[in-house]
Structure 1
Amino acid sequence: MDFSQLPDIISVLVRPNNPPRDDLEEMDYTRCAALHNYLFQYAWLAEGRPLETLDANSSFFTGSGDVDEAGACRPRLHPSLAAFLDTTIMPPFPFDNPHEYIPFSVFTWGIDEPSRLFEEDTADLQNQPVDSLNPLERLLTNWVDLIHIGKVVASPHEEPALFGCEKVGPWEWRPYSDAQVTTCVTEWDRLCQAITARISPLSNPPLTGTDTDNLEPLVASSVLDAAWVPDPSFARSFLTQARRPQFRYIAPGLLLPPVDAAGFVAARPFSVLPRSEYTAPPVCLFPADTGDQPPI
């Protein structure tokens, strides 16, 4: 899959320095359409289909099953919404081969047909928090970001999902991504360095070296095997990649995870309970101090 064919959408992604426009009293349809089309083109490529086979001119008004019915919707739409539907890519539904239809994302099937465009249940927006509603461009940006960090992945629909979960067309929602593990390990290192810097003058004997000099993981793979921690899983990836600091407490009353198999297993009393194949047992990262540990 050559995703280099995708358009550059950096300029339309919502960011702190590029927020939704507040000078518009209507939908920012150009920005929203660019994000929508990026997601659809991404899925199209993930299915192994060249972009040149995608009719970029097929929209809600031209690609719907009933063009006349779609056109009849236009007077009822705000001009900016109509412009959005004019600009978004919406290929005709493959009625002869329904399995070839590509859902828009893992979260939604796509834009409804004209006959159902106004039939959705009306949401009760009373007493909702002010920040509970977001511009469409922010929502679409979040969906794009989930792809970029590997939390949402697209691949040919016939390929099984990595963790055996159900796919929505080519889309797969993964429980975690490598990028998320890397981010957590980086933040763990920063936290450990900050704690070490503060307790070094108080420890006896004083701490020597730095946590970055220590290559020992928080928990060894053999210990996780003995404790039935799933492989692969976020907990296993984090615990085997994060370095073990020189101190014992990560917070008042909370210890680092035990390094021995017996101690780590004892901290996971719920791992033996029945569960479905899609449920990962909880992992106790930082057990509570029972009072028999030396300080620091």
Structure 2
Amino acid sequence: MSQWRVTAERPLREVDGLDHERCAALHNLIVERGWTASGRSLRDLHRQTWWECYGGDAELSPHAAKLSPSVVAFLKAAWHGYAYTAQPPHAFFRYLAGLCSPDDLWENLNYGEDEDDLNKKRYVTLYMANWALGASHPLGLVFDEQTFTAMQHISIHDTGVTMNGRQIWLPFELILEGFLDMIDQGKALAVDSSYDGNQERIDPWIMPSYTVSDVDETLEAFERLAGAVETRMPGAPGNEMHRLSDAIESSALAPNTFAYQFLVRAREIRFSQIAPGLRIARQQPFSSVDIEEGKLRPILLFESSQNAHQDTERAPWGEEVPLSPFPRHFQAITNYPAGVYLTETDPDGAHPFEDGCKLILPYAIGGNGWARTSDGALFGDKSHTKGPAASPVPCSTQLYQQGFNHFIETHDVQLKHVLSHWAEMVEEGKWAVDVDGVAGGIEKWREADTEDHWQDYQLPMSW
């Protein structure tokens, strides 16, 4: 079934309706990959389709009348029997428990008062969300029968964002391909009964807080960035060495963490400016904050000489209330450098991502209405409000972030994507290089909110 994977050589196909043949093949491949990785034999995989599981044409004709023919064709080819025969239970994927029952296909959406009955038939909840992730009112993967696109919802409350009229839904096969890519890279991992680790297990899936590939690809991106700068410097690099590994001792990092593995293996550089106005960090502002055992503090990687901007939000009673990019127990520290931070995480929690990062600027941007997150939303977008976007709200923490993530829940942008993007900016001449490294100073980031340059600072959607 691997020939159905979506690649540059095998791109999306032009078909009428849903590409049901490809989507069913990708669905079944996910089932097969999870089944075998969890230690089960393919001989024991019950390949009964969803359609067969619920009685076939005789029982399902009332439902078929409300479904697009291409969706019916998908349900006639997608395996579903495994969900009823497997012991222990077998979830389809980390975020999705399995295909919905016929009665749940139209029951889970939270419509506004302006939605009529005809429009309610437009949206089909194909998969139920995995309730074990702790979301309030879990929903699932919803398919739009008018545009033949889909969107994953962990909670029913996500519909305020996904149905605001501005979010871009994706072809269903791209979402399934994203799941397979996560399996390929070990981001979502099916495990067998011998697994005795601390990761939360949703049979058979765990989600490691980072993978070997995450570390290796982040190191490759840093190497590429450093090499791009050094080859463009006027004259030989200086003699002063700058080391990311200096942050290890002050951060009290354990050797089995992503931050430790990246910092200790990252190459030394002989220039000071790694990006406009940013250098390798010389301090760890949150190192003194007490945290629960096993959790990880924010780690400052690249710092500005200026402090981070303090974003605020107007409360209903008129007061400007501070908005912190960090959880409550870090908010006692109000002065800290602008720069790039690996964000705090619980490596054994439900959303355990150690390689997520934030770039926090010393000023807010977005007021010009050009800066956007990966999902296309303006900075400060009131995402739960329907209709045209309201006036943008300047902020200091959304540059490079995903916005509403189509693939994965609660994951700040991966550090490797930021470093790779920085390397491209140098290689393509969009950032100049001088004797100190990347030129331009901290004001350079204001380009992200200009008509000519905003696209240079928007990363594509990723998981």
TM over 0.5: yes
Residue 191 of structure 2 is matched in structure 1 by 155
Q: Secondary structure of the equivalent of 2:76? A: helix
In structure 2, relative to structure 1, the CA distance for the partners of 1:287 and 1:109 (3 Å cut) is same
Residue 261 of structure 1 is matched in structure 2 by none
Which has the higher Rg, Structure 1 or Structure 2?
1
Q: Secondary structure of the equivalent of 1:156? A: coil
In structure 2, relative to structure 1, the CA distance for the partners of 1:16 and 1:277 (3 Å cut) is farther
> What is the TM-score of this pair, normalised by structure 2?
0.50
Residue 104 of structure 2 is matched in structure 1 by 116
Q: Which of these residues, 243, 265, 279, is aligned with residue 267 of structure 2?
A: 243
Residue 73 of structure 1 is matched in structure 2 by 63
Residue 215 of structure 2 is matched in structure 1 by 181
Q: Which of these residues, 254, 277, 281, is aligned with residue 253 of structure 1?
A: 277
Report if aligned partners of 1:106, 1:171 keep a CA contact under 8 Å in 2: yes
Instruction: State yes or no: 1:146 paired with 2:182.
Output: yes
> What is the TM-score of this pair, normalised by structure 1?
0.76
Q: Secondary structure of the equivalent of 1:87? A: coil
User: What is the CA–CA distance in structure 1 between the aligned matches of 2:34 and 2:203, rounded to whole Å?
Assistant: 9
Q: Which of these residues, 4, 28, 32, is aligned with residue 23 of structure 2?
A: 32
Q: Which of these residues, 273, 276, 281, is aligned with residue 289 of structure 2?
A: 273
Give how far 1:138 is off: 0.4
Report the residue type matching 1:28 in the other structure: D
Give how far 1:91 is off: 1.3
Q: Which of these residues, 117, 124, 133, is aligned with residue 169 of structure 2?
A: 133
User: What is the CA–CA distance in structure 1 between the aligned matches of 2:278 and 2:173, rounded to whole Å?
Assistant: 41
From the two aligned structures, give the one with the greater helix fraction.
1
Give how far 1:228 is off: 1.3
In structure 2, relative to structure 1, the CA distance for the partners of 1:217 and 1:70 (3 Å cut) is farther
From the two aligned structures, give the one with the greater strand fraction.
2
In structure 2, relative to structure 1, the CA distance for the partners of 1:251 and 1:81 (3 Å cut) is closer
Report if aligned partners of 2:46, 2:82 keep a CA contact under 8 Å in 1: no
Give how far 1:219 is off: 0.7
Residue 12 of structure 2 is matched in structure 1 by 20
Instruction: State yes or no: 1:285 paired with 2:301.
Output: yes
User: What is the CA–CA distance in structure 2 between the aligned matches of 1:170 and 1:251, rounded to whole Å?
Assistant: 42
Report the residue type matching 2:232 in the other structure: R
Give how far 1:191 is off: 1.1
Report the residue type matching 2:233 in the other structure: I
Task: State the Cα deviation string for residues 250-288 of structure 1 (Å, max 9, x = none).
Answer: 134322244xxxxxxxx1121332334564211111233
User: What is the CA–CA distance in structure 2 between the aligned matches of 1:34 and 1:227, rounded to whole Å?
Assistant: 46
Residues 13-22 or 77-86, more deviating: 13-22
Q: Secondary structure of the equivalent of 2:170? A: coil
Residue 207 of structure 1 is matched in structure 2 by 237
User: What is the CA–CA distance in structure 1 between the aligned matches of 2:175 and 2:193, rounded to whole Å?
Assistant: 24
Report the residue type matching 1:35 in the other structure: L
User: What is the CA–CA distance in structure 2 between the aligned matches of 1:238 and 1:105, rounded to whole Å?
Assistant: 29
User: What is the CA–CA distance in structure 2 between the aligned matches of 1:169 and 1:70, rounded to whole Å?
Assistant: 29
Alignment of 1:6-17 (within 5 A): 7=1, 9=2, 11-17=3-9
Report the residue type matching 2:13 in the other structure: R
Report the residue type matching 1:244 in the other structure: E
User: What is the CA–CA distance in structure 1 between the aligned matches of 2:292 and 2:251, rounded to whole Å?
Assistant: 18
Residue 245 of structure 2 is matched in structure 1 by 219
Residue 232 of structure 2 is matched in structure 1 by 198
Give how far 1:197 is off: 1.8
Instruction: State yes or no: 1:166 paired with 2:154.
Output: no
Q: Which of these residues, 71, 84, 89, is aligned with residue 101 of structure 1?
A: 89
User: What is the CA–CA distance in structure 2 between the aligned matches of 1:59 and 1:80, rounded to whole Å?
Assistant: 15
Report if aligned partners of 1:69, 1:115 keep a CA contact under 8 Å in 2: no
User: What is the CA–CA distance in structure 2 between the aligned matches of 1:85 and 1:277, rounded to whole Å?
Assistant: 46
User: What is the CA–CA distance in structure 2 between the aligned matches of 1:69 and 1:271, rounded to whole Å?
Assistant: 62
RMSD, aligned CA: 2.9
Structure 1: 5+ residue runs without aligned partners?
A: 1-6, 259-266
Give how far 1:199 is off: 2.1
Task: State the Cα deviation string for residues 153-198 of structure 1 (Å, max 9, x = none).
Answer: 111256234xx23121111122222112211211211111121122
Q: Which of these residues, 79, 104, 109, is aligned with residue 89 of structure 1?
A: 79
